Amino acid sequence: MVHAWFYPDRAIKDPYDTGGQEDMRREAIAKVNIWTFKTHKTPPACLSTADLTDSILHYEEMTRTGDPDSYRAVQFMFAFAFLRFVNAFVDRDVARAATASLATSEDDQEEERAIKNVGESSMYAHAAAISMPGRFVDLRHHVSHGELPEMKTLKKAAEDALEIQQSP
């Protein structure tokens, strides 16, 4: 249900519903916030989807009202949401790799150390392992070092990240 709220274009339509489709993205964000408050174990994909969607909704509001004072705040929202998105997925992959390395033999661990010495432990390698574009890692790097990209770059990245996450 929440997935359909975030991605109404991908939702299965009710054949008996004759009304227009109401935008339920705010309700989806609220539902994820409730899950996070109650359990503190909300999956990274849900948190990222909520953060990125919230940024897009604030951007839409800012452009609709023409409020120039919101520009910097929305830019930071996009940057933070995108940073969390990349970190959540790449760090999860790093954690899995570390756990797997604990269960491998000593010979396998020596081979892994040799691979790491040639840069395979970089965020780029971990991102590539989960099919995340390298440009996402580049953008995350800029944001984490205080270089805020232009709003259009952040918005496009957020839309692309949501596109990647939309499979149920």
Q: Which among 155, 159, 164 has a CA at the least distance from the CA of 133?
A: 164
Task: Tell me the pLDDT band of 106, cut-offs 50, 70 and 90.
Answer: low
Contact in structure between 90 and 127 (CB atoms under 8 Å): yes
CB contact set of 75 (below 8 Å; sequence gap of 6+): 148, 151, 154
Say if residue 20's pLDDT is above 80. no
pLDDT higher for 75 or 12? 75
SS3 state at 76: helix
pLDDT band at 107 (very low <50, low <70, confident <90, very high): low
pTM: 0.77
Domain assignments of the chain as residue spans, ordered by start: 2-13+22-165
Cα–Cα distance, 155 to 64 (Å, whole number): 15
The pLDDT score that the predictor gives to residue 9 is: 77
What confidence score (pLDDT) does residue 114 get?
42
E strand or H helix at 115? helix 106-117
Label residue 121 exposed, middle or buried (CB < 10 Å: 0-12, 13-18, 19+): middle
User: What is the distance between the alpha carbons of residues 7 and 140, in angstroms, rounded to a whole number?
Assistant: 24
How much is the average pLDDT of 43-54?
Answer: 92
Q: What is the pLDDT of residue 115?
A: 42
Q: Which residues contact 11 (CB under 8 A, 6 or more apart)?
A: 3, 4
Please, are residues 126 and 162 in contact by the beta-carbon 8 Å criterion? Answer: no
